[in-house]
Amino acid sequence: MPETKAIERRIVLANLDQPGYTPDIECYLKHGGYASLRKAAGMKPEEIVNEVKASQLRGRGGAGFACGVKWGFIRADEKKPIYLICNADESEPGTFKDRQIIDRDPHQLVEGMIISCFAVRAKLAYIYIRGEFAGGARILQKALDEARRNNFLGKNILGTDYSLEIYIHRGAGAYICGEETGLIESLEGKRAYPRIKPPYFPAVLGLYQCPTIVNNVETLCNAVHILRMGGAEYAKIGRPNNTGTRIVCVSGHVNKPGYYEIENGAWTLGQIVNDLAGGVRGGKKIKAIIPGGSSAKVLRMGEVIKLRQKQPDGSMAEKEMGILDIPYDFDNLQAAGTMSGSGAIIVMDETTDMVKAMNNINAFYAHESCGQCTPCREGSLWLQKITDRIVRGGGRASDPGLLINVADNIAGRTICAMGEATAWPVQSFVAKFRDEFEKACEKK
Ligand SMILES: Cc1cc2nc3c(=O)[nH]c(=O)nc-3n(C[C@H](O)[C@H](O)[C@H](O)COP(=O)(O)O)c2cc1C
Ligand code: SF4
């Protein structure tokens, strides 16, 4: 890892740096906008899918699934209608990147969506946008209207025989509407109850039981740059299986909270926090970092991470390091026992009361459980009740163990991954800060 200071590498956010940049189509066109779509119009859909496969782009919504592989699930001879949905729900606590693109560079998303729809042969697409983003929905609607007027959208796009419509659907503000199958249910006009996978993998049985590609805002924007550079060239950014850039959102006790676009794997967690986000406020020490949104397992300052890394000769070797030395990308965070998730880095300084922080997170998941499965519905509430009573001075000596027990009985026993999102923070907070939980239980 270089000793130099971390710097940003802006590709998706590049336009935002242009002086006087506005969300209008004229401005986007002036900065080279829709050139990738023109290129795509001269290609076959499968050629675009192959470029995205070659780019090794992984989804930026949380799970990090290979985008080209997902698109490849759509059969060329599919008889049913094919849909594409842009997931603009952005509901993972600590995440605030997609809204920047929507508000300030909406045409990049629109262009990325049109290219992606063409690649998977979708003739109808939706942007499922978080209800609170009312302003963003208006900006996007204007961008769609402008794109239609310029023949980038609608009938016979750029003189081809390909036609596409994109509609905006505003959510009503529920975390679970970000989960792709819950989102689809909501889009169909129902309560956002996630569906069981299998059989309901969206690419097979999605919207209206038809093949549906669901991708995050940032993922879809990357399609523009993959077409511009070519998949193989794009894959040179970052490192194998962790290519391209990543917009990380740094929040918590840092001097410069904000969103930063970095090359995947180029910088460590410590470099991002200290160089980009300006270090911890008031010169205090870091106590803990949640590296990928509130669902990700917490990292404790001082813990020793045993990271299995690929060596230049291709062999694997284990290296011991502190949490600040973990290179920030999908695979390294996973190897460190957590995840890069939605790219939201939450920094907690030495003054943080970890039990209170846990209680805050538990309250969120208890409130947001859709209630469909018992372990998540009941368990999330019990978790909150337990941390709540500890915080109020009514904790019992058995509570840390009880928290782990409840969390262990949620993870892996639910319909959707919100079970894990609820359990992982508890399992890691209690395991890594057990001393604090035990002490808090003694206080009356
Ligand atoms: C509880 C829960 C909430 C989620 N919220 C979001 C969200 O707000 N935005 C998002 O893009 N993905 C979210 N996801 C991930 C989506 O289910 C899905 O994996 C993603 O939209 C796929 O896009 P990608 O492959 O481009 O990442 C969530 C997943 C879960 C389990
Ligand atoms: S895990 Fe939770 S959010 Fe997901 S379906 Fe079950 S009850 Fe609903």
Q: Are 358 and 387 in contact (CB under 8 A)?
A: yes
Tokens 């740096």 -> residue: 17
Place of tokens 């699934």: 65
Spacing, Cα 176 to ligand 1 middle (Å): 9
**Does some domain include residue 21?**
yes
Q: What is the pLDDT of residues 377-402, one digit of tens each?
A: 999 999 999 999 999 999 999 999 99
Q: Output the six-digit token pair for 324.
A: 């600040």
Are residues 255 and 376 located together in one domain of the fold? no
**Ligand 2 atom at minimal distance to the Cα of residue 416:** 4
pTM reported for the whole predicted model: 0.97
Mean pLDDT of all residues belonging to the chain: 97
pLDDT for the residue 271: 98
pLDDT beyond 80 at 2: no
* Domain-located, residue 217: yes
Residue 3 has pLDDT above 70, yes or no: no
Testing ligand 2's pocket by substitution, the residue of 177, 179, 372 carrying the most ligand atoms inside 8 A of its CB is 372
Domain enclosing residue 394, as ranges: 354-442
Number of domains the chain is built from: 3
The answer as to whether 1 is a domain residue is no
Which residue, judged by its Cα, is nearest atom 29 of ligand 1? 179
**341 C-alpha to center of ligand 1: Å?**
9
Question: Which atom from ligand 2 is nearest to the alpha carbon of 371?
Answer: 7
Please name which ligand lies nearest the alpha carbon of 113. 1
Please enumerate in sequence order all residues whose Cβ is within 8 A of that of 291, keeping only pairs 6 or more positions apart, or say none.
269, 299, 326, 328, 333, 338, 339, 340, 341, 345
Boundary (domain end) residue, out of 333, 349, 365: 349
Mutate to test the pocket of ligand 1, among 70, 87, 92, 128 (most ligand atoms within 8 A of CB): 87
pLDDT value for 374: 98
Strand, helix or coil for residue 170: strand
- Rg of the Cα atoms in the chain: 22
**CATH number of residue 270's parent domain:** 3.10.20.600
Euclidean distance between CA atoms 106 and 416, whole angstroms: 30
Whether 436 contacts 354, CB under 8 Å: yes
Q: Is 413 in the pocket of ligand 2 (CB under 6 A)?
A: no
Domain boundary among 234, 262, 282: 234
Tell me: do 401 and 307 sit in the same domain: no
- Tokens linked to 182: 């819950």
CB 23 within 8 A of CB 108: no
Instruction: Give a yes or no: residue 314 inside a domain.
Output: yes
Task: Quick: pLDDT tens for 98-109.
Answer: 999 999 999 999
71 located within any domain: yes
Please report whether residue 255 resides in a domain. Answer: yes
Q: Give the residue from 287, 294, 222 showing the smallest Cα distance to 261.
A: 222
Mutate to test the pocket of ligand 1, among 216, 220, 372 (most ligand atoms within 8 A of CB): 216
57, pLDDT greater than 60: yes
Is residue 5 situated within a structural domain?
no
Q: Residue 1: pLDDT above 90? A: no
Apex 250 CA angle, 216 and 322, nearest 5: 110
Which residues does 415 contact at the CB level (< 8 Å), separation at least 6?
194, 195, 196, 372, 373
Choosing from 185, 218, 234, the residue where a domain stops is 234
Q: Check which CATH number belongs to the domain holding 105 and give it.
A: 3.40.50.11540
- Ligand 1, residue 130: give the atom nearest the CA: 8
Residues 116 and 25 in one domain: yes
| Tens-place pLDDT, residues 195-247 | 999 999 999 999 999 999 999 999 999 999 999 999 999 999 999 999 999 99
pLDDT tens by residue, 123-154: 999 999 999 999 999 999 999 999 999 999 99
